[in-house]
């Protein structure tokens, strides 16, 4: 993904790397004889372990999904699909697993409703094509679904909303279904609310609250990555609130 100030700050100052930075500072303090440094390292280690458990990631995920999301009473006239990540293979850049999940859900929704599709997302790394173009190509090749609108400039969720809303308004469309992952939906809906452009959530991969069984406490690296996604969404919602108000 292309480097940006926001991307660097998000990566470095959210857990898990935040805990690593704190632990490094604590190690220096311990070297200088500070007695509380060991406690700080222990707390950071416990934080990392908790975020790596299904319980930690699941709680962050379910709390996001439980947030109230405004829904339009207007009849949706289109389907907006937000780009996710991309993958690099032997044939060059392609849609990543998260993006593939979104376009698969969008194809099913299109067949069920007959509504036209808009895909949105700009280049995710220097020299790569816009993710929206890759999404449109995959929808055609893999699902036999033709995309009507391609928005290839958006660099983030806020621009996804702004540029997509402008394209659809120009076509006389004033409400749409919105496809993205359930954990990303609160921030995506908030971005469209600020346009304002009414959307109805069509979330991908809904998850319930963790049950708290023994397996939920077993750390795994993939759950640490999930926790980072959830924390990034919470940080994004906080930025929206601080920048734009409730």
- Over residues 37-73, the pLDDT tens digits come to 888 888 888 999 999 999 999 999 998 888 766 666 7
Longest dimension (CA), the chain: 68
CB 119 within 8 A of CB 103: yes
**Over residues 203-218, mean pLDDT:** 90
Asked if pLDDT for residue 8 goes beyond 70, the answer is no
Residue 242: partners with Cβ closer than 8 Å, 6 or more residues away? none
Nearest to 83 by CA among 61, 58, 64, 106: 106
Sign of the CA dihedral running 48, 54, 56, 60: positive
Q: Tokens 């391609």 map to which residue?
A: 150
CB 188 within 8 A of CB 71: no
The CATH code of the domain at 79-204 is 3.40.50.620
What is the rounded average pLDDT for all residues in the chain?
89
Beta strand 176-181 pairing with 199-204: parallel
CB 71 within 8 A of CB 200: yes
Confidence of residue 3 (pLDDT cuts 50, 70, 90): very low
Asked if pLDDT for residue 222 goes beyond 50, the answer is yes
Domain ranges of the chain: 5-66+219-244, 79-204
Beta strand 92-95 pairing with 86-89: antiparallel
What gap in Å lies between CA 38 and CA 107, rounded to an integer?
A: 53
pLDDT (0 to 100) of residue 111: 97
Backbone angles phi, psi at 102, to 5 degrees: -70, -45
């Amino acid at each position: 993904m292309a480097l940006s100030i926001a991307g660097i700050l998000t990566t470095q100052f959210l857990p898990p790397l935040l805990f690593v930075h704190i632990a490094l500072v604590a190690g220096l303090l311990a070297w200088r004889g500070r007695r509380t440094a060991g406690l700080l390292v222990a707390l950071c280690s416990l934080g990392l372990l908790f975020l790596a458990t299904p319980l930690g990631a699941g709680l962050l995920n379910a709390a996001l999904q439980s947030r109230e999301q405004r829904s339009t009473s207007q009849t949706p006239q289109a389907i907006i699909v937000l780009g996710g990540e991309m993958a690099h293979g032997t044939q060059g850049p392609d849609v990543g697993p998260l993006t593939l999940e979104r376009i698969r859900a969008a194809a099913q929704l299109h067949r069920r409703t007959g509504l036209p599709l808009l895909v949105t997302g700009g280049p995710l790394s220097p020299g790569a094509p816009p993710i929206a173009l890759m999404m449109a190509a995959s929808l055609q090749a893999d699902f036999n679904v033709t995309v009507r609108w391609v928005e290839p400039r958006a660099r983030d969720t806020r621009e996804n909303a702004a540029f997509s809303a402008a394209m659809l308004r120009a076509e006389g469309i004033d409400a749409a279904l919105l496809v993205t992952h359930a954990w990303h939906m609160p921030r995506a809906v908030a971005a469209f609310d600020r346009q304002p452009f009414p959307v109805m959530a069509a979330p991908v991969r809904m998850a319930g609250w963790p049950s708290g069984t023994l397996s939920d406490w077993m750390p795994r690296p993939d759950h640490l990555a999930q926790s980072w996604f959830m924390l990034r969404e919470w940080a994004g919602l906080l930025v929206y609130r601080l920048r734009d108000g409730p």
